[in-house]
A and B are shown apart, each in its own frame.
Chain A
Amino acid sequence: GESVGLHLPTLSVQEGDNSIINCAYSNSASDYFIWYKQESGKGPQFIIDIRSNMDKRQGQRVTVLLNKTVKHLSLQIAATQPGDSAVYFCAEKGGETSGSRLTFGEGTQLTVNP
């Protein structure tokens, strides 16, 4: 369901610093967890995914960590750049019997200061 909050959580970092965006998920049975980036006025773009049997996965400048014990997911962005400013969503993937639909979190607004 939707959050009762009116504002997205925000994270402000300096250019060149590392960013860590956190997400709590609810469904222990989800097979995959995915991070999306959404720039203003655009549709979300896939960043990276991680299967539920993994703890860590690395991409280009990004790392996703999965802690199944506490149902926590994080996205780490190394050497954050102004172009990284966007809203970041985590998502859980349902099984194929449910159309492989994604359940999105509420998002975090990342602002990178030059």
Chain B
Amino acid sequence: SQTIHQWPATLVQPVGSPLSLECTVEGTSNPNLYWYRQAAGRGLQLLFYSVGIGQISSEVPQNLSASRPQDRQFILSSKKLLLSDSGFYLCAWTKKGLADNEQFFGPGTRLTVL
């Protein structure tokens, strides 16, 4: 069966510090991968998606970046965090295919920037 992991679960970082969040998927190959951010009481905002190794599409301009060094690994990074980067970060994957609509979400990382 497929599993998606995210770590860390919670993170408190000072403004201006770097960030690295990691997401890995098990039990599948060549998935589409996604990073979302969710502010408290709000919907999900798509930040990045990837259809393959080294292929990253950015949805919103920001001080975050993403990388996919391996097929089932997706990393979200920042060189200098801002207060507005606080939120709940969710990684998700889906199979490729017209009718494969289920995106499987990880447990999320709650980031607080102080």
Contacts and interface: CB of A to CB of B under 8 A. Distances in A.
Interface residues of B, number: 30
A34 interface: yes
A101 to B, nearest CB: 5
B30 to A, nearest CB: 13
B77 interface: no
A65 B90 CA distance: 28
A6 B49 contact: no
Interface in B18-71: 32, 34, 39, 41-46, 49-51, 57, 59
Interface of B: 32, 34, 39, 41-46, 49-51, 57, 59, 90, 92, 94, 96, 98-108, 110
21 contacts: A3-B42, A7-B41, A32-B99, A32-B101, A43-B105, A43-B108, A44-B90, A44-B105, A46-B101, A89-B43, A93-B101, A96-B98, A99-B32, A100-B94, A100-B96, A100-B100, A101-B46, A101-B49, A104-B43, A104-B44, A106-B42
Given A89-B44, A102-B103, 5 more contacts: A43-B106, A99-B57, A101-B59, A105-B43, A106-B43
